[in-house]
Chain A
Amino acid sequence: MPALTSQEANQLADNFLAMSKVIGEYRMKNFDNLSEAQKQNLKELHAKILDASDELYTMSATLVLENVQSSLDSIRNVTGQMKDTFAKLQNIQKAINISASVAALGAAILSKDSKAIGSSLRTLLDSVKA
Chain B
Amino acid sequence: MGKKKLKVVYLFILFSFILSGCTNLQYVNNYSTSSLESIQKFEELNSSFNQSCLDKCEERKIEALTIAQEECSCKENEKADSITLLIYYAVRGYFDGLTNLSNGDLTNYQMDTLNNALTDGQFGDVKFDKTQVDACSNIVKIILKSGTDHYRGKKIKAYVKEANFPIKVLINFLDFNLSENLYAKLDVQKERITSSCFDITKNNKYTIAEKRDVVENYYKQLASIEAKQKELLTYSKALKIIAIGHQNLSDNIDKLKEDDIKQELTQYASKIKDIIAEYNKIKH
Contacts and interface: CB of A to CB of B under 8 A. Distances in A.
A31 B202 contact: yes
A122 interface: no
Contacts of A28: 198
Question: Which A-B residue pairs are the 9 nearest by beta carbons?
Answer: A107-B121, A82-B97, A71-B166, A61-B80, A74-B166, A100-B113, A100-B114, A103-B117, A71-B169
Given A17-B191, A104-B121, A58 B166 contact: no
Interface in B25-68: 49, 52-53, 56
A3 interface: no
Given A58-B76, A99-B114, A103-B121, A72 B184 contact: no
Interface of A is mostly: helix
A89 interface: yes
Given A71-B167, A111-B121, 13 more contacts: A14-B184, A20-B188, A54-B52, A54-B56, A58-B53, A58-B185, A61-B182, A68-B87, A76-B93, A78-B159, A86-B100, A96-B113, A103-B121
A64 B114 CA distance: 53
| A-side interface size class | 35 or more
Interface of A: 6, 10, 13-14, 17, 20-21, 24, 27-28, 31, 43, 46-47, 50, 53-55, 57-62, 64-65, 67-68, 70-72, 74-76, 78-79, 81-83, 85-86, 89-90, 92-93, 96-97, 99-101, 103-104, 106-108, 110-111
5 contacts: A58-B181, A67-B169, A71-B167, A82-B155, A100-B113
Nearest to A20: B191
A70 B166 contact: yes
A65 B185 contact: no
B254 to A, nearest CB: 18
Contacts of B14: none
Interface stretch (B104-112, B209-217, B220-228, B266-274): B104-112
A92 B195 contact: no
Given A47-B195, A82-B97, A72 B144 contact: no
B111 A82 contact: no
B163 A108 contact: no
A68 B97 contact: no
Nearest to A113: B122
A61 B177 contact: yes
Given A72-B86, A92-B109, A111 B122 contact: yes
B32 to A, nearest CB: 11
Contacts of B123: 106-107, 110
A75 B87 CA distance: 10
A101 B120 CA distance: 12
